[in-house]
């Protein structure tokens, strides 16, 4: 790596220490890559492209030193929880629709079973027989 990147890496490490100590000077002090980039006076994309190892190290230090989850991981976990709930609701709705299809199929079978009811079948006064299909 050239000298410019070595200087960036040193500034990023110093910014990491300040953020984790709660002594932010430039950023808002949140434990995010955006705050780290602002604190180190480097572009955010530099952390995401050139210094991925430092970004990962920062998040690992956030987990171990502060015993908390990084902000982006919190948001992802919330999204996953919402999606799991949505999937659960959709599965319940699908099961309810399947049961409804079964009930409607049975009702249709009863209504179309025979044109002439047999003497031992129950009398349904409110059922109107459908005409046979024209061929």
35 and 58 belong to one structural domain: yes
SS3 17: helix
62 and 75 belong to one structural domain: no
| Mean pLDDT, the chain, integer | 84
SS3 132: coil
64 and 78 belong to one structural domain: no
In a domain, 126, yes or no: no
In a domain, 74, yes or no: yes
CA angle 122, 128, 132 (to 5 degrees): 110
Tally of domains within the chain: 2
Q: Which domain holds residue 52?
A: 3-68
Q: Rounded to two decimals, what is the model's pTM? A: 0.52
Task: Tell whether the model's pLDDT for residue 77 goes beyond 70.
Answer: yes
In this structure, of 30-39, 76-85, 108-117, the range with the lowest mean pLDDT score is 108-117
Radius of gyration of the chain (CA): 33
Task: Tell whether the model's pLDDT for residue 84 goes beyond 70.
Answer: yes
Q: Which of these three, 47, 68, 89, is where a domain ends?
A: 68
């Amino acid at each position: 790596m050239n000298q410019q990147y070595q200087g960036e890496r040193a500034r990023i490490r110093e910014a990491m220490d300040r953020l984790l100590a709660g002594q932010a000077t430039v950023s808002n002090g949140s434990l995010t890559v955006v705050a780290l980039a602002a604190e180190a006076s480097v572009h955010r994309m530099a952390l995401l492209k050139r210094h991925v190892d430092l970004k990962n190290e920062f998040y690992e230090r956030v987990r171990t030193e502060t015993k908390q989850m990084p902000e982006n991981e919190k948001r992802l976990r919330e999204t996953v929880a919402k999606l799991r709930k949505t999937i659960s609701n959709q599965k319940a709705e699908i099961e309810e629709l399947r049961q409804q299809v079964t009930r409607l199929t049975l009702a249709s079978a009863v209504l179309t079973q025979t044109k002439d009811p047999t003497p031992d079948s129950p009398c349904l006064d409110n059922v109107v027989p459908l005409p046979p299909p024209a061929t």
